[in-house]
Amino acid sequence: MTEPGSFGPEARVALAAYSAGEVSAEIALMRLLLAFGDDAAVLSFLEQFGPAELLGLAAQHRAGLARTAALVGAGLAHERTGSIDAIREQFDRAAALSPEAAVALYSLGSAETLDRATAEIASRLRKWGLLGSSVVALDIGCGIGRLECALAPYLAKITGTDVSPVMIDEARRRCADLPNADFAVCTGADLAGFVDRQFDLILAVDSFPYLVAADPAIAERHIAAAAGLLRPDGALAILNYSYRGDLDTDRAELRRLAATHGFSIERDGTRDFTLWDGVTFLLRKR
């Protein structure tokens, strides 16, 4: 039998993190898929080394795992880089292969898993006092509208924006029965399309990493724009600032940007989720 040590470090680290309770089963499977690049290889690995819970989850989501593997194989997985135009094209292609996996690879292409992760985000936002019947929200990088579906009942209005026309079309389809949710394709370069509006809450769930990857100046431009669009005491919730794997650097960068653009920091890179491994930066307009 092949020894565990014969596999690459990414696979060993993913398995160790799950065994230590540091990541969810879904995140562990996502990392294994990124390590192997092939769903059959992941299943073979788990059949030899377990644990049984991961093998069972992989078997349960076999079809979704295969679609997610197709994203990985096509180079459309987690860390999309390049210009905004290149990232837009990658998201369009990914959404055509698997809408759920395109917005959250850890969903493994499962609508149920994505719904659970989204519900957890919505629950935290409620707990932090960010939702309410008078709150008007902007969702940067809304993808297929998963947050709009979850949050619209708790808000006065929510607008979702994304660089991907394919994502926006899917979001409009999924949220067609929500009168207080609307959507717009954006350039990804700034928030100029919203200069005539004001918001109480601006959300960015797994979208800033792509702005940072394209150009950190674009990320700062969005934070500066958010400061102008938010009403006094409004909140900017950034869930994941980058994918560079250096939380200390992300914290230092957000502290600098918050001080520059008139925000105080209420959550400074905290880990608040069980299914998803995202970190929270919650900025409040002073």
Residue 94 in contact with residue 71, Cβ under 8 Å?
A: yes
pLDDT value of residue 5: 47
Residue 74 in contact with residue 90, Cβ under 8 Å?
A: no
Residue 50 DSSP SS3: coil
User: Of 124, 115, 198, which Cα lies nearest the Cα of 149?
Assistant: 115
User: Of 104, 164, 119, which Cα lies nearest the Cα of 140?
Assistant: 164
pLDDT value of residue 211: 94
Strands 132-140 and 199-205: what pairing? Answer: parallel
Residue 134 in contact with residue 157, Cβ under 8 Å?
A: no
Bridge partner list, 203: 139, 237
Please tell me whether the peptide bond between 9 and the residue prior to it is cis, using omega within 30 degrees of 0: no
pLDDT value of residue 81: 59
Question: What CA–CA distance (Å, rounded) separates 106 from 66?
Answer: 13
What domains can be seen in the chain, in order of their start residue? 9-112 (no CATH), 114-285 (3.40.50.150)
pLDDT value of residue 4: 47
What tens-digit pLDDT sequence spans the chain (286 residues)? Answer: 444 445 678 898 999 999 999 999 999 999 998 899 889 999 999 998 889 999 999 999 888 888 888 888 776 665 555 688 888 888 888 888 888 988 888 998 899 999 999 999 999 999 999 999 999 999 999 999 999 999 999 999 999 999 999 999 999 999 999 999 999 999 999 999 999 999 999 999 999 999 999 999 999 999 999 999 999 999 999 999 999 999 999 999 999 999 999 999 999 999 999 999 999 999 999 8
pLDDT value of residue 178: 98
Which residue, chain included where needed, has tokens 């004001």?
Answer: 198
Phi, psi for residue 44 in degrees, rounded to 5: -60, -45
User: Of 97, 104, 101, 99, which Cα lies nearest the Cα of 121?
Assistant: 104
